[in-house]
Chains A and B, each alone.
Chain A
């Protein structure tokens, strides 16, 4: 039985891999070809993967003079074989391409053995034949065509949908023979939505109110309440800090401290104020160039300055200046446009229609800042690199009121500025700073959307306007996909950072487009978008995975059950602190250094700079949210890294989701968890209630539901047993309680120690740190 299940899984999952797209699984794995073969959905992914490396957009690598990415060239007579044609529309049998991919002779077959690319499978070959038979129609890449709202689909199940997006989801499920799950139970739904909207578990009070509220609006009320809490901005910011590669040090080897946190606080503020996404981007890309630029808008441009800066003696200034501009270009293209364009840094892109020239045209927008590659070594290190924004206490009463407190009277943050005279930009051969070739002017990727110079200036502000132009086919799609991924664990486009030809195709293309257009039509309103998703029936389903669903759709691409995955690294800490009552609800400010194993920074440092040794903070700083943990780039906080947190070295749009023994060790032995267990145990020990009630309360605080009878029995008997051990002094209860700096309560020690152990057990339950 088991083996059969696995075999079933195999064939399905492999089919997805073959064409890297979920949408066409059936057509290839079962052998049945689609009625109409689509270039965008069936052929291009295949050709891009197996053919374009030698017969694609990279002009310097084209072999035998053949390009297969442009119809006129693919249909032309072959340069090296007169009278033969790679593709003859309508006639697969005459097409050299078909002969080559079907051949088994090493000297003739394609992809050639030297390419190390896998051969096409039989189904893939049939697919190509059918496409040629049907006329070999080429299409522009789907993601470069502006999204349109398709008519809402009609599904058989018209009871289930709660809003428009459900229609797309249920329609797809019906096509795949899947049915939606029942709604999640109220307790689990509340935990899910609370974690999604605030990164925190619901309080006991909220749990009680929600369970008692039997009205139809109960859920929506909770959604509004959570979205209006300041924790919402913190939760949303965590994703953007990965995109914006936020850190508290300069990186590279001496890795001294920097002060970029006011930018992080602005991001939280912007999400809480629900700044529309078009403005959110415009300010970060070019806030300094707006006619009404104020300190807030200039601070936003810190986005482009968060990357690493070297302070290594002896580096070559221009080498690093170029490196910084490359980083800005990469962050813009990957984080905002969803395109990985680094390849074009060295050569014409092999898969996407982006030439090296295109790349440096985009690079040129960022190349006009007065920043330098090297301001000096660590002995002259400053908290920000020029150009800098000065923030004074007076600003805190004005536009920068979201910054609560300054470390000194005046603070500096690295931000953007423009040179008065335009710096010339050249294509850099192989991306090397000392190999300039042709001069280029700033221009964004024309394949994506033209750049109307009558409407837009040829500078960063123009780039920002181009980016948020409603005709830009990528910006809205990429962001709604990121938000979807944040909530469902994976995007509609799985490769959130690659909407190009080698990226995955959307599982629900019409839904993605509908969401993107709707988002723009509603003024790029992020809260509106998020609310729409979390109030959908799709979202509110239970996350039970039946064996049948696991077999048909193991990755839940078709969303036939609710999302269920382990919390992001920062929120693991938040859950522990919030449930134990330790959490200090303070927004922003300098990052904090909480408990960390001894000697980590010291073992790796060069010995220079203020971060050579780890100076742990105390008091409230130990109990701040995980997102305020001090990030030293060369040794990022281990507990966050073990839970797949971003190392913030580069722009990242998607974190991996792993399940490792090191995570188990953190959950068993990290002082943060041990202290939280102790503190909660002491609080409960002080309460005038029976031990069973105390355990139930702890369980509710942590798992966010009432324990089942079997769970209660197990925990209660564990408690009695532990209590016996401590009462008999077989183990001294003080040993268990002697953890953490938080002040102790005067309570009966045996009871508190036994409770602490029960609480540790509850924290270690898989469900505790999982969004259920």
Chain B
């Protein structure tokens, strides 16, 4: 009962206006459509979904940032300096002397004699020219190509001392550069956890849906129980159990496992539902009568007809995983410094007093919202495109 209702909730999201069926094209296209593969039809339908296309482009950009985090950062994310703590974002002045000559003013920091707060004033007399593709801190591009070229830099000065696109945090670390690295961590953690959930979901959901009977009943009860447990206390408990001696990579892996341990239920439900509805289709019956082996029926006949649905469900599952990681890290139970993720960055914003004085600490929340929205739009688009009757 509850499962069917859940299925109701899943399947019935508003269909977009643009999703005109692809079977309704101009006349000279009809031949093309008749011979198009299922994937081509889906792509054509997906293309018409404007929000989904925008979401896809945004996500491509996000993953490009993940790849080129070191290139886009201009300061080593760990470089801290108490003398530069909590600096406000400084704009780049793009035009000078009637031409395109970007520059920044250096900042002079001093302590306010009355409030003892550090205040910074730009030194208007000095202009530090900003250059593109400049040399900066060394890194390994894609993890193995040694490089020191960065997208932004300043001529004859250290960017750490002059360039503050998004300001600095409590320890004087550059927020822009840290955000680039945080994007890499948070965007990949979503992918890795969803891959793991998918593995669990497809295996258990597939077994449960294809074989039915006791197997199905057991898996369904497990899913029902897992779904009725509030996840955050469970995650908090699991995450708090991670030994503090673990390395950044071990913690990263453990967090993905924790998130996917609970996240698989939704995917298993979708897979099971598809299996059950397909099992009754005539072409499966025909394959069985013709004596096809079980693996052949599953992988040759059933899987291709629901892959698109799985892709849609997967895409829609990623944002929840990203939010989970962010929430856990925000609580201090997920990724821990020196790891950098969106949640870790937002930990600095936990202190409301600090936040009121330096609102730029909230900047890392913007990419979270944009990424989650983009995944939702793209997932909705894929789901609509995958539905031949949509």
A-B complex is real? no
> Which B residues have a C-beta under 8 Å from some C-beta of A?
none
